[in-house]
Amino acid sequence: MTTKRDFVKTITATIASLLLAGVAQADPVAQLSYDYDPAIRTPVPIPQSERHLQAATAELWFSVPGGGRTLEGACLDKAGNLFFTDTTEQRVLKLTPDKKLTVLAKFKDFKPAGMAIDKSGRLFVAAMDLPHQKGVVLSMNPDGSDIKTELAASAGYVPDDLVFDKAGNFYFADFRGLSSVGSGGVYYFDRASKKVTTILPNMAKANGIALSPDGKTLWVTEYARNKLHRVELQDATHIMPVGSTTAYYFTGPAPDSMRIDADGNLYVAMHRQGRFLVFDPVGLPIGQILIPGRDQGQYMRSTSMVVDPQSKDCWLLAGDGDEGTRAAIFRSKALAHGFNLNR
């Protein structure tokens, strides 16, 4: 007579045999397969979490002669002249609205990076000597004359970018550190007293920097840790008690320079991704601008952009760096007009 226990044992053994037979007959390749679609077969695929964002593709506006190089520091004057830096050749350049290119200055000891224009129209240039971990902030007339040192190398910083506040002083990003060593940061420079005040210490290669239209929110990208910081200011040199947050964590090659529009939207260059991410005023991703050729590995060093205060036109800088033959300025549309708190 079959007992209940024997029946359970028989059923259990049968089920186990069927499961083992199924595993033995299953195709091991099929079990391990996953989609290898075109969207992930590009040199730098757009992360899954950002593919749904609305996207615009920029158009080529001007090819910078001289082959592969890295461009930085895009800014516009009131006449619509575009100023930018060529870090590869250590130059500051000017491009007129009718596309006439002029070299304004060439540096010997430092590579120019981020730039900003003050109320008087002078260009301020953050310039670095990365091998020796030092840097300066220089200023010059719009024609490249009368170069002056604003922040000397002896101060011990490696300035990568800067932004003016309404008082005419500026915040700058210190590009020191490693992903595991936060020796850089964000600082405030008072031009009258030459005093430097620490705002955000212990950062790993602070890079892009921007101020909201009301001057109350400071944005910073942390290149070596893939972070976007949102800082609510109590005044020029003090953060609100709960005002410092990490608004976003980036995926893949790192965030570079930033610009802001009149509505407070933020545009972040994604270095080595050939694109720019767009964030709303609280730091939520809402769009992206793609550089043509990125799917073929071209113009991947997207580094800087600027939005025209008189329109929604924006100019974006990208190139191949030392790895290719291209460097160019692209044009697209921003969500709102450009904005400069200092102007």
CA atoms lying within 13 Å on the CB side of residue 318: 29
Q: Please tell me the predicted confidence (pLDDT) of residue 16.
A: 54
Summarised one tens digit per residue, pLDDT across range 172-208 is 999 999 999 999 999 999 999 999 999 999 999 999 9
Q: How many CB atoms neighbour CB 51 within 10 A?
A: 12
From CA 288, how far away is CA 251, in angstroms rounded?
Answer: 14
Distances (CA, A) of 50 to 117, 181, 187: 33, 29, 31
Tokens 């490693």 -> residue: 178
Task: Based on the residue annotation, tell me whether 109 is a catalytic residue of this protein.
Answer: no
From CA 252, how far away is CA 6, in angstroms rounded?
Answer: 58
From CA 196, how far away is CA 310, in angstroms rounded?
Answer: 33
Tokens 């545009």 -> residue: 267
| Predicted confidence band of residue 9 (pLDDT cuts 50, 70, 90) | low
12: tokens are: 């259990």
- Residues 6 or more apart whose CB falls under 8 angstroms from that of 329 comprise 61, 62, 64, 71, 82, 84, 95, 315, 316, 317
% of the chain at pLDDT higher than 70:
90
**In the chain, where does DSSP find H-type helix?**
4-25, 28-32
For residues 17-34, average pLDDT: 55
Distances (CA, A) of 198 to 51, 189, 238, 280: 37, 9, 9, 27
Q: Are 266 and 246 in contact (CB under 8 A)?
A: no
| Predicted confidence band of residue 23 (pLDDT cuts 50, 70, 90) | very low
Q: Please tell me the predicted confidence (pLDDT) of residue 205.
A: 98
Q: Which residues of 233-260 are buried (b: 16+ CB within 10 A; e: fewer)?
A: beebeeeeeeebeebbebeebbbbbbbb
Q: Please tell me the predicted confidence (pLDDT) of residue 56.
A: 98
| Predicted confidence band of residue 269 (pLDDT cuts 50, 70, 90) | very high
Q: Are 66 and 103 in contact (CB under 8 A)?
A: no
From CA 314, how far away is CA 301, in angstroms rounded?
Answer: 17
From CA 238, how far away is CA 231, in angstroms rounded?
Answer: 10
DSSP 8-state secondary structure symbol assigned to residue 319:
E
Q: Which of 86, 160, 161, 256 is catalytic?
A: 256
Summarised one tens digit per residue, pLDDT across range 305-324 is 999 999 999 999 999 988 88
From CA 343, how far away is CA 171, in angstroms rounded?
Answer: 16
Q: Are 170 and 163 in contact (CB under 8 A)?
A: yes
Mean pLDDT across the chain, nearest whole number?
Answer: 92
DSSP 8-state secondary structure symbol assigned to residue 64:
P
Summarised one tens digit per residue, pLDDT across range 155-169 is 999 999 999 999 999
Q: Please tell me the predicted confidence (pLDDT) of residue 40.
A: 83
Q: How wide is the angle at C-alpha 322 spanned by C-alphas 100 and 272, nearest 5°?
A: 90
316: tokens are: 């974006």
